[in-house]
Chains A and B, each alone.
Chain A
Amino acid sequence: MALNFKTALCSLVVASALAACGGSGGSSSPASSSSGGIGSGPPPTTPTTTEKPYTNLDTREEASRFLIQAGFGGTDAEIDALVGTDAADWIVAQMNLPATRTLPLMQARYPAREDTDFNHSRMLWQTLLTADDELRQRMMFALSQIFVISTDSFFDQGYGSAYYSDILVDQAFGNYRTLLEDVTYSPAMARYLTYYRNRKGDPETGRMPDENYAREVLQLFSIGLVELEMDGSPKPGSPETYDNEDILGLARVFTGLSGHGPSFRWSDQLPDYRHRPLQVFDEAHSQLEKTFLGTTIPENTPGAETITQALDTISAHPNVAPFISRQLIQRFTASSPSPAYVRRVAEVFESGRFSAPNGQHFGRGQRGDLQAVIAAILLDPSVHDDVQDLNEGKLREPVVKFIQYVKAFNVTNIDVWAEWRFYNTNDPTSKLSQHPFLSPSVFNFYRPGYIAPGTATGDAGLSAPELQIVNEGSALGFANFISHYVLRPADDPVNHPGFQPDFTAEIQLADDPDALVEHLDVKLTAGQLSDAAKADIIDVVSTLIVDGEDADVARRKRAQTAIIMIMASGAYAVQN
């Protein structure tokens, strides 16, 4: 089949524009570049053969693998539907889905008052478990682990954290610079990193501006601590990107921001300030000169203009592309991405365009286009090649594992408010060691550079962030958590009416343990269980005697047993 070059039909700039493209997406709804049209982008790969591009999902294993990497895995039907299609088309279809935002959901559920962040963190769980716009939600979750807020830090701002997560939803396929600005002006981030109502210095009392955001916006949200090559590795000698003088200068920038209203006075904030952008009040904004990262913003520059210039300066730093690209790769496809992979994605970050092997175009050509970046991550050759490399793959995050369980078995009757376990799933001893928007600090659940002591990956110098929460201390908790949900709702629906799974397909295969395990292996691990593990699981499943009037119970038990064992296996722990 010849590669399919599509013409530009509509602009894919932001979420609303995507949705406005209409159509169901898929292979008949091409993505495109914007203003300049297709000719302004880099030329697509010239087709030299009639073979399908490497992004074509030829088998059920490949389809399952891609859904695990890009979304939350697939049901049998979703996997079947994807076989023979191109991964790029799935991405386009996902980008065209309407965005699921949590602020309207919060307002509907808690109309009388704003309610708490904790309820918003439950709303996030509910959304992640049920929303159809999986790629966008996964991107939201990924971005929430770079632009971190943690909702256990403020107790009365459920609308505020909803507004914040919606920024991540809206900019999931938007632009980095816009995202950085929206984050900076969000009341939730301002509260979390303490620049909310941060006042200019006072020479009389000696008071100085709060340095918190100045420091973390550089260290965590944009450029990091050392100068990077485009492939994400430190430049020779690891020169530091900024010093304390830069922080002093930049701290002056983030002054004078408060909830919107007629004045800086606390009492003047309008009631809906928590879900509207912050406002800069020049009377509280430092009028001093601000010098940082080699830029000087002259004294008496108005606050809004100052922040614009500062964010422009930060965003323009050459570190941003490799720094952000590497972390996004880590959240989707590789715990320790190769330098070449980081470079490929970082170059797309710079150009703002990506052309898929099947001719789909992503991005509108502006630096930091996240639509292009995510497509480049998910369509990279290393993601679609044979499963062999010792160093490839991503340790799955516990939250994503559980979502996959829910999606894979069409789990229904999902109401996390009715489940005490979902109040906080962070506990490693009995739950998942992870809860959306509930990391211990702005440093997320784990660090992108974490190298686990005493491990094979550590000996090989590979970063393995997820091992900071997926480890000896959390293995038992995960096994117990997943066992509960695989077993109890199906076994005892009267007492456990929530989270009802559909094991119909598995029960039908249960009389043939080999077929059952084979089927689950494709669905859950993309066919990557080792033969030895499969043999042992088949052996365990076979101990259950399917006979007599309890035969149906035993069949279900066989399915449940196999699911638990696969989800506890080493093969499942890593998507590759």
Chain B
Amino acid sequence: MAYYNRRQFISRSTLGFAGAAMGLSALGHGTAQAANVGGYKALVGIMLKGGMDQNDTILPVDTPSYNALKAMRPGIFGAYDSEAETSSRNLQNILELNPTNAAQFTGRRFGLPRELSNIHGLFESGDAAIVGNVGPLLEPVTRESFQAGSAELPKRIFSHNDQQSTWMALGTEGTRLGWGGQFADAALASDAAANPLYAAITATTPDVFLAGERARAFRVPEIGRDVSLDLESKRYYLGWENDRDELRAKMSAFLRKNDYAHNNLFRRDAANMAGRGIENQIAFSERIASAAPLSTVFPDTRIGRQLGGVAQTMSLRTNLGVSRQVFYAATGGYDSHDNQARDIPLRHTELDEAVEAFHAAMIELGLWNDVILFTMSDFGRSMVDNGDGCDHGWGGHHFVMGGSVRGQQIYGDIPEVDASHPQYTGTRARLIPTTSVEQHAAALGRWFGLDAGELGKIFPNLNRFDRTALSFA
């Protein structure tokens, strides 16, 4: 099999995207010194925790590649019973993708498992794209430089928590600023009227992605969750006697304030968080209660309820006083060391149904062209299996979705299914990324309105990579 070396690959892909890349100048490569905050735009990052297996998500559908993958993963394909007519991994049942840049792959074709049928539909209709083989990089790396130890590598590749952090904050666990939070910071810096409280929104844990200098993750409830301070809202808690209204008011004020001076730094943080949290959660919940509910029904899954909370928050955008928002949702269960054939289709289905509901909600709100939904994950996984699962890898493939995405394309690269291909590590066929997280995130940042200077500050290694290679939005 013939391989392109990196130089050839870049020139090919750049040519392939030339038309799209021309559009970039309008999106922030100009001389503007500050983020463009006109209109409304939102980025929604979905962290798929555990390391999503790209090999079982973007499936090869040309027969030689399909057979090659099956041969490398006999345990996994066996567990899927892939030769059965009804198996989701039977070649006949894989939903083929028809990218407009199919020619780039010289006969290799790709598909999605049927559990991702809605995302498949978004791709085919031009509202979703795939970014292939993206992962943390400090500079371009090949197997040669990887094995020789000559490449400068991100720290602690293959470690879950550190690579989650590296995806979201460009550094191992303990890194303090995430690029989502820094995007929100840039938007806030250009919009004095914006309410910083609602610039960065998490529907789950306060992971580092949304940590900015000014922006902090504000946690919104999952859709359908009504939150209130029971001491206030449940009148029987404190009673109906004459003195109880005053008691209620004073207790409520105490709990919402919690601003006593503390020398101890842990106490200071805990008190601030408690007071702020209670005050802001209630205020936000009251805003939701006063707004028109979404008619879109979200699936009752972890990711479904979270994306519902995100959509609900977007429906309040005017009320919240923000024109740029970065959102974060996360779901686990992707660490498929075993039982892959049982677990991954369930995870895919949950993701797909949640994305479809979110899509519907955005149509309902008239915001589909103003949002980009994108996936992240700790890492991709090894192509060689371990019996009924696979192990930690590095590069993976990801989705970007939204009305303004230049969809139906595969950006970056999806290397051949061949362990001897130089874009895999020497053992277990783990992908060495060809597109860096910084490139990927910078493309999202450009769309969000950040200018080149702002992006350069957030992404220090950007100039080591082809800056025009990704033009999905």
Contact = CB atoms under 8 A, between A and B. Distances in A.
Interface in A207-238: 207-212, 215, 219, 225, 238
B268 A570 contact: yes
B214 to A, nearest CB: 8
Contacts of A430: 227
Given A219-B159, A225-B159, A543-B243, A451 B174 contact: yes
A557 B238 contact: yes
A39 to B, nearest CB: 42
A68 to B, nearest CB: 14
Contact of B247 (A487, A536, A544): A544
Nearest to A560: B238
Q: Which bracket fits the contact residues of B?
A: 35 or more
Interface string A383-417: 00000111111110000000000000000000000
B268 to A, nearest CB: 5
Contacts of A392: 264
A462 B174 CA distance: 10
B392 interface: yes
Contact of A244 (B158, B177, B181): B158
B247 A540 contact: yes
A225 B162 contact: yes
Contact of B278 (A428, A470, A476, A550): A476
A395 B219 contact: no
B216 A484 contact: no
Nearest to B430: A244
A210 B230 contact: no
A392 B263 CA distance: 11
A471 B206 contact: yes
Interface string B302-337: 000000000000000000000000000000100101
A540 B257 CA distance: 14
A458 B176 contact: yes
B243 A212 contact: no
B49 A441 contact: yes
Given A212-B337, A391-B265, A537 B237 contact: no
A573 interface: yes
Interface stretch (B19-27, B118-126, B383-391): B383-391
Contact of B386 (A208, A460, A474): A208
Given A451-B174, A453-B176, A570-B258, A390 B278 contact: no
B416 to A, nearest CB: 16
Contacts of B337: 193-194, 210-212
Nearest to B233: A480
A302 B139 CA distance: 44
Contacts of A210: 337-338, 386-387, 389, 391
A420 to B, nearest CB: 15
Interface residues of A, number: 91
A573 B267 contact: yes
B107 to A, nearest CB: 24
B242 to A, nearest CB: 8
B204 to A, nearest CB: 9
A212 B390 CA distance: 9
Contacts of B161: 443, 447
A574 B269 CA distance: 10
B386 A457 contact: no
Contact of A388 (B230, B242, B263, B271): B263
B269 A467 contact: yes
Nearest to B419: A206
B55 interface: no
A376 to B, nearest CB: 22
B64 to A, nearest CB: 17
B229 A480 contact: yes
Contacts of B205: 468-469, 473
Interface string B219-262: 10110010101110000011101110011001100110010111
B380 to A, nearest CB: 14
Contacts of A395: 266, 270
Contacts of B176: 451, 453, 458
Given A472-B280, A573-B274, A462 B389 contact: no
A426 to B, nearest CB: 11
A105 interface: no
Nearest to A395: B266
A315 B427 CA distance: 27
B173 interface: yes
Contacts of B229: 476, 479-480
A454 B216 contact: yes
A47 B392 CA distance: 56
A452 B156 contact: no
B276 interface: yes
A10 interface: no
Contact of A543 (B72, B74, B247, B392): B247
B75 interface: yes
Contacts of A550: 241
B129 interface: no
A536 B254 CA distance: 8
Contact of A457 (B158, B241, B265): B265
Interface of B: 49-50, 71-72, 74-75, 155-156, 158-162, 173-174, 176-178, 181, 202, 205-206, 208, 211-212, 216-219, 221-222, 225, 227, 229-231, 237-239, 241-243, 246-247, 250-251, 254-255, 258, 260-278, 280-282, 332, 335, 337-338, 382, 384-387, 389, 391-392, 425, 427-428
15 contacts: A206-B72, A211-B392, A212-B337, A462-B266, A468-B205, A469-B205, A474-B277, A475-B276, A475-B277, A550-B241, A564-B251, A568-B274, A570-B268, A570-B274, A571-B260
Given A205-B75, A441-B160, A574-B270, 5 more contacts: A219-B159, A443-B161, A463-B174, A539-B250, A553-B239
Interface of A: 193-194, 198-199, 205-212, 215, 219, 225, 238, 240, 244, 247-248, 335, 388-395, 428-430, 440-441, 443, 447, 449-458, 460, 462-464, 467-476, 478-480, 483-484, 487-488, 530, 532-533, 536-537, 539-540, 543-545, 550, 553-554, 557, 561, 564-565, 568-571, 573-574, 576
Those 5 A-B pairs whose CB atoms lie nearest each other, nearest first: A570-B271, A453-B211, A472-B277, A473-B219, A475-B277
